[in-house]
Each structure stands twice: as structure tokens, then as C-alpha cells.
Chains A and B, each alone.
Chain A
């Protein structure tokens, strides 16, 4: 399918969200609601997860085999679908994190020069 510019931009954001989700899950299995909260808290509410795009991301990751979903009982005794990291997902997270840090460093250098 041809992708227009908006879709490409969305893809980039999705990539970021994917990384955050994987990072969240490194602490242990969690369900969608928790994941959203953890991301928001960990970023000190800077990153507002749009809940509507969280679930497509979860399914995308599951489809790629990076996370695995199962139904369980949540802390308030309700049914919820939990996700856990797969070994493949762990490797992916490491790679992504490395690439991200390089990117951030690079951007930081560029910006540092700009502010000088």
C-alpha cells in the first residue's frame, strides 16, 4: 500500500511508542491500562499516552512476536489482558534503545551547537 506523508510520520511516532511499551514491560507483565499509566508516570506526565493508539501498538508488537498476550486477573480483581516481553522483544528493545540514544546524542550535539 502506498504510504503518504502523514502515515510515515505516524510510523515514526509509533516506533517511539513501541519502544516505550517494551521498556515498560521489562519490569514485568502488565495490562494495557497499567502500561499507559506507567509510561505517563515514568515520564513525569510529560508523555501523555493517547490510549486510542496504545492498543493498536500492543497488537502490532504481539504480531511481530516481541510481546505475548494472555488473559489474567488484575490487581482490582478484574479480568484484563496482560502482556509480557518475549526474548525476541528484549533483544529488540536493546537495539532500539541503543539506536535511540545515538539519535538523541546526535540531535543533542546539533542543538548544542545551535545554542552556542
Chain B
């Protein structure tokens, strides 16, 4: 028969039923005509026709389209079986949902953050990150691949000389301040090349993109394209917005366009709110005019490869160009190269930071999936053993072994398909969960996961894979049934020793082993996070609050700013419970970092290839006492270290040991930016940019000798941010009613926000997954123990009848559970010993083989094992010996 028959058979069947009914009627008529009573006539008609349902079955059978039909029958049978064991089905689906869901979520994050982070952008598969390299120089970046920025003249040369590229686009992060309510808020933006929107295929919903001419001319094109969010929230969806002006960093900019909804720029981790052309560099990137300076490194960006060009080919070509530039411009380009990276290794945004963490998360997610599979597998096996009678009868009735295996696989497939569906839902709801882990609200809008066909494909693969993994083992186990012995009434002995429980035990051991690995990892990461949170970065983090006022975007010049800052400091110091306050140009651990300069130290001869450099921070008097950084020698800055006084600096210990060989440098001199600076003090080393940095040379200069209109206010106080913020706002308003301070946070909060994101994610994920794994393993152990007790009722009853006490029985059952646990833990410890090295990059001050972590994991695992064994053990003691033996 054909497909149509297969799909319409229900209708055909109904028609056949009517046809048979008609036959009965005719036969009855005939019988009546022959003289029977109506009832008898009808009875005889039925008798003659025989079983109508058999006729229908025969027709059905002969219309069989056997492959699909068997499948369909298995499917319906499976649904029936699953519905008849709702507890089992729900548990299995739950376990698999957790497994598949966690991998789907992690995968959607990888997709949304690292692999295809810019959903609105056309051709992001052809995008590569472009950064410069410079051996020996202080490389930026915290994740192993150091990089520096490129210069605009170099960038233009790349664009001119490279043939394998469609476009080079500049995307340099910057910021400006807008007053939103009574709080000043930094909005993040980008300095971009004029081809930015065209190359990315982004079409503004209002106005236009940038025009080619807007790349050139010093500050010549104060135009801005604003984000959809800024337009909607800040400008209240003003339809006439194009052509209006907005003050950005004290320069009036004409709004020429509004970007479409869903386009957050191309900087993973930050949602851009505005874009300005390269010609406005001087306004947005500190350090003066750089467009004509080949030595000025400030450009980060991307390139679009031509279709079909591999990143290696492109790298080859651009390296050759860089080599030529090095030869042509030796003074500025010595040793400078170019590095192309795929988006997931982008060094200058969060992608590069997060990818290793996400890899770990994926591995951990897979472990959870594996544990879930082992769990369902043992559940399935327990169930298939209790269905042994059914299976055996089916084998006896001629069911092929292949059919039985097919049936088990079908059960597995149905379970895991349902679970994959639920898992995708879980993944969908968790796709934005990463944002919750980041505490910084303003910057993370673009860190969402993405559910696309790749994630679906992944989940489908996970589903199939897990089916094969968890369904095949019991299927083979079932395949080994010995008809004769199985048909005999079974009286399994589980505790007595050997038997068929070995495979099930193996599954439990695998689960315990894997979850032990995860537990160790989780404990390590939690320990590490704890160490970081309590680590001493070399300055006080609890009693220091930071805020600031953006005077630059309010149009202050240096003179007005100085007056304002002095007045504000006086007012803040006068507030209750404020011990001291000071300004500094940069906060520690900020993305917008310190200034840096090449230095030459009097009496120090650098090695031929060495170009001594150090970062520095301009700070006002009182900064060291406010921050709690001890001065080891010399004196603090005073108000008389001002513009007219000789230049002075306070250096850190590392600088002392590096350039003065440990001798007290007070009174000595060094040169920076062609000016001699006298050392007046030595400050204790601190951490400046990250918890994992090596000690580095660093110095401080008086704020007035290196003035900046914008500054961060550091306040030493015992008050909390919430109580201080209103006072600060009041004082700022008293000085200038149009101003508002930035959010007041503790130094600790500031550090946690900016420095800990990847650690936070890793800890949250591994801990959550570890807990999941523990739960699954406990469920698995419980299942096996409970089943063992049920199966060995007779044996236990016999033992009790022979005089075993409840305590003996309890011990017997517990011993079984703990033996399994012990084996699992030992294997897990070995695995963990090898595997924890993988999280080494995330650990701070914790050895990957920290004994405490192993011990804690062991304790937790043992507790879970005891808990899981308790109920079955208790039930075992309640077995009625007589009843059990009679059964």
C-alpha cells in the first residue's frame, strides 16, 4: 500500500466497520426471510461473519507498511509505558533536562558572546579582530595574548595595501557623561571610522551613517549617531532628533542618525550608546591629536575578510605590509606587528576574557550531561530489570531481540526528545543569565546568549548522543536474558555479593566519580573567589568610597575645574564621619587605565633592547592616607606641590628595586616626557589593574602638576554609599546646580564589578553545575539502593529470620552504599587530580590540588551518600521477615 493508505487508515478502518455492519444487516434480512426470529437472525449473522475486529485487524495487518508501522507501534507502546510509570518518566526527563539544558545554555552563551556576538551585523563570520603587537613593550590585555593598539596612519596603510580585505573598521571604546535624573551616568560610545555602518550593514533608522570625508580634519566633524536606546530613553523617541545638537565631552555634536534597535555596537560586554567619527579623536581619546602621528597607538578595530579568504592568508598579507611599514618608518614602527584574531579571541573586549571561562563551563556542562545520562541509564536498567518478566515473555513469544533493543532505544529517544525540548526551554530562559552574574548594570546589555539553529543542532546532537549512551547499556544488558532462568521466579540477591547488579553499580560509581570532580572544581573556585574578595590589593577597599563629577562634559575649563575641585574637597571633608578625601585621575582596576610614559632614570643604564616604561597616576594630597597605601619613605604630596613648584613624584617599591637597585631613591631624579622629576617618597606596592598582575613599576605625581578636568573622588569614611550619596549630590549641587555626581560605590564594589567578571561567572556556573551533579548522583545512588532493597527483600527477610538485628541490616545496606561511594570518590579524586589543572587560569592563590578542596568535596559527597542510603536502609529494617519469605 502507499503512503496515503498509511496516513488515512483510521478513516479506512471506520469505513470497513460500516461495510461489515451492512453485511450483518443483509445477512439478518436474509435469515429473517428464511423464517428466523429477528434476534436469532442477527445472532446467526454475527456467528457466520465471525469476529469483526479480527477482520478489521486482518485488513489493517495486510495494509502494513512495516518499518514505519513498527516504529509507530513502538512509539505508542513507549508512551504507554512511560505514562504507566510517571515517577520514573518525570525523574528521567528531569535529569536529562538538566543535562541537556545546561549544555544548551552554555552553548547559547558561547554563540552569543564569543562566536557570533553581533547578531545585527552582516557577515560577522568574516570579521576578525585587528590588534598590534610590540615585543618588549607593556602589553595590554589580561588573558595571555598581549596586544597594543594601532596608529591611524598605519591603519590607512593597511586599508590601502591589503587586497584580501573588504574593509578595515576602527572601533575604539570611549565614553561621555550625561546627566540622567540627579545622577551623572557614563554612556559608553565608540570612535569609529566612517565606513563603520556601511561595512557592518547597519542602516540607521533615522538620518544617515557617516560619510567618507568625516574621517579627516582635526575635530572637523562633530557629528554623532546615537543608539536606539539613547534615542528612546534619553531623547524620548523624538522623531525630529536628526539635526539637533548634544554636548559630548564639552563639544556640541550634531545628531545625524539613530542606529536600529538590537544594534549595540561591536564591543562584547558593553552596549554602545553613541558613535563619533575618527576625526573627533582628540575629543574622545585622551593624549592629544593623534591622527597624523604614526607613533600614537590608540586604534582597536576589526577587518572584514573577502569571502573565501582564510585568516591565515589574511594574516600573511597584513604581516608583510606591517614589515614594510616597519622598514619605511623605523623610528615609530620598530618591532611593531599586526595580529588578526577570530572574534572569540578578540583581545580588547570581553570575548577574549570570557571564552576560556565558557570553555570550562561547556566542559562542566557536558560532565553534568554525562552524569544525567548515567543516572537515567541506571534508572532505565532498574526498570528494565523489573520488567524482566515482560521482556522474557515477549522473547518467549517470538519477539526478536532486535525488536526489544529497538523498543528500549525508542524509550530512550522519547525520553531524551522530551528532555531536549525542555532543555532548550531551560537554555532559552538562561540565555540572559550571565548578565545577572555581572553586577554592573549599565554595561552588559549586550552579553546575552543567542538561541539559533546551531544551538538547536547542538541540543539535538546532545539528545541523540545521550540516548545512545544511556539506552544502549541497559539494552545490551537486557539482550543477555536467559529465557529459562529468567522465567523462573527470580529472587535476586544484591547484598549477598555478586549478581547482575554490577553494571548498575558501575553507573552509580561513574556518577559519583564525575560529580566528585565537579565538587572539587567548585570548591576550588569558591575558595579562589573568597581569596580574591578578601585579598589585600595593597589599598583599603572597605572604608573607601569612590565617585566623581564629569566637569569636562559640563564645559569646565581647567581654572574653573580647579576651583570647583578644591571647593568640593573642602565640603566633602566637612561631612560627618568623613576622615579624608582626595582626587585621582584614575581609579584602580578600571578599563580606562593609567597614563604611561617612557622613563629614563638617572644613573640607570637600560639594556640595548629595553625601553623603560612605567604607568603613573596623578593624585591630590591626602590620596595615600585616604586609600590606605603606606608611604615607606619620604613624604606625601602637599598643596604646595603645584603647577609652579618643581616636578616631584612618589614611586613604588618595584620601581625602586628595578631602577635604583633597592637603594632609597628619595632625592634622586628620573626623566619622563622630557621633564626631570624628583622622587620625594616611596609608596608600598599595590595592585593596579588586576588581581593576577605581576608587580610593576608605578609612580604617582601631584594632581596639580598633571591636571585633568575630570577626576575621581576618593573618600575615606565609615559610612556606606547609600548614606553618603545624597550628601554628595547636595554638595555638588550647591556648587553647580547643573551637575550630578557618578554613582557612589565602595572601592570593593568597584573592584568586584570591573575585575571579577570572569571569575564570578566561572564560580557561579561551576558551583551551580556541581550542585546539580551532586543532586543527580544522590538521586542515582538512592535509586539503586532503593531498588536493591526491594529486590533482595527475600534475602534480607531470610537474614532477619535467622536472627539478624535491625542494626545488622542497616549496616549491610549502608555498607553497600558507602562502598560504591568510596570507589567513586577514589576514582574521582584521581580524575580531579588530573583535571583541575584546567581551571588553573581562574584560580587566585589556590593550588589546583588544594587538599582542603578535596577534603571538603569528600565530606559533601559522603554526606550525600549517607542521605541517599538512609531511606532505603531504614525501609530494609522494616521488612517483615515472614511476609518477605512467603512472597
Contacts and interface: CB of A to CB of B under 8 A. Distances in A.
A26 B871 CA distance: 77
Given A60-B62, A79-B22, A80-B26, A52 B16 contact: no
Interface string B1-31: 1000100000010011011101101110110
B59 A59 contact: yes
A52 to B, nearest CB: 4
Contacts of A51: 23, 48-50
A63 B27 contact: no
Residue in B50, B55, B63 with the greatest tally of chain A CB atoms within 10 Å: B55
Contact of B58 (A31, A33, A56, A63): A56
Contacts of B26: 31, 33-34, 74, 76, 78, 80
Given A32-B19, A60-B62, A50 B29 contact: no
Question: Interface centre among A59, A63, A78, by most B CB within 10 Å?
Answer: A59
Interface string B61-73: 0111010000000
Contacts of A56: 55, 58-59, 62
Instruction: Tell me if B's interface is mostly helix, strand, loop or mixed.
Output: helix
A72 B1 CA distance: 25
B16 A59 contact: yes
B401 to A, nearest CB: 15
A52 B54 contact: yes
A55 interface: yes
A: contact size bracket: 20 to 34
Contacts of B29: 76, 78
A53 B22 contact: no
Contacts of A74: 22, 26
Contacts of A33: 22-23, 26-27, 30
A68 interface: no
B19 A52 contact: no
Interface centre among A33, A34, A79, A81 (most CB of B within 10 A): A33
B51 interface: yes
B22 A55 contact: no
A34 B1 CA distance: 26
Most buried by B among A31, A56, A60, A63: A56
Given A31-B26, A76-B29, A55 B62 contact: no
Nearest to A48: B48
A52 B1 contact: no
A110 interface: no
Contact of B63 (A1, A63, A76): A63
Contact of B16 (A1, A34, A55, A78): A55
A56 B20 CA distance: 11
Contacts of A34: 26
A55 B1 CA distance: 16
Given A32-B23, A80-B26, A81-B22, A63 B55 contact: no
Nearest to A50: B50
Contacts of B66: 1
B16 to A, nearest CB: 7
Contacts of B23: 31-33, 51, 55
Nearest to B1: A63
Please classify the interface of chain A as helix (H, G, I), strand (E, B), loop, or mixed, using the class held by over half of its residues. helix
Given A33-B27, A78-B22, A79-B22, A59 B63 contact: yes
Contact of A55 (B25, B30, B55, B64): B55
A76 B54 CA distance: 27
A55 B54 contact: no
Nearest to A34: B26
Nearest to A58: B19
A53 B58 contact: yes
A60 B25 CA distance: 23
Interface in A59-96: 59-60, 63, 74, 76, 78-81
A76 B16 CA distance: 20
Given A1-B64, A59-B59, A81-B19, A52 B49 contact: yes
Contacts of A63: 1, 5, 63
A13 to B, nearest CB: 13
Contacts of B12: 59
A94 B680 CA distance: 121
Nearest to A32: B23
B597 to A, nearest CB: 86
A78 B49 CA distance: 18
Contacts of A32: 19, 22-23
Contacts of A31: 22-23, 26
Contacts of B64: 1
B19 A78 contact: no
Contact of B51 (A52, A76, A81): A52
A74 B23 CA distance: 11
Interface in A19-61: 31-34, 50-53, 55-56, 59-60
A54 B55 CA distance: 9
A80 B26 CA distance: 9
A32 B62 CA distance: 18
Nearest to B50: A52
Contact of B62 (A59, A76, A81): A59
A60 B5 CA distance: 12
A22 B223 CA distance: 90
A31 B464 CA distance: 51
A50 B49 CA distance: 7
Interface string B176-214: 000000000000000000000000000000000000000
A53 B64 CA distance: 17
A78 to B, nearest CB: 5
Interface of B: 1, 5, 12, 15-16, 18-20, 22-23, 25-27, 29-30, 48-51, 54-55, 58-59, 62-64, 66
26 contacts: A31-B23, A33-B22, A33-B23, A33-B27, A51-B23, A51-B49, A52-B49, A52-B54, A53-B58, A55-B16, A55-B20, A55-B55, A56-B55, A56-B58, A56-B59, A59-B59, A59-B63, A60-B62, A63-B5, A63-B63, A74-B22, A78-B25, A78-B26, A78-B29, A81-B18, A81-B19
Sorted nearest first, the 3 A-B pairs with minimum C-beta distance are A52-B50, A33-B26, A56-B58
Given A1-B64, A32-B19, A55-B58, 11 more contacts: A50-B50, A55-B20, A59-B12, A59-B62, A59-B63, A74-B22, A74-B26, A78-B25, A78-B26, A79-B22, A80-B19
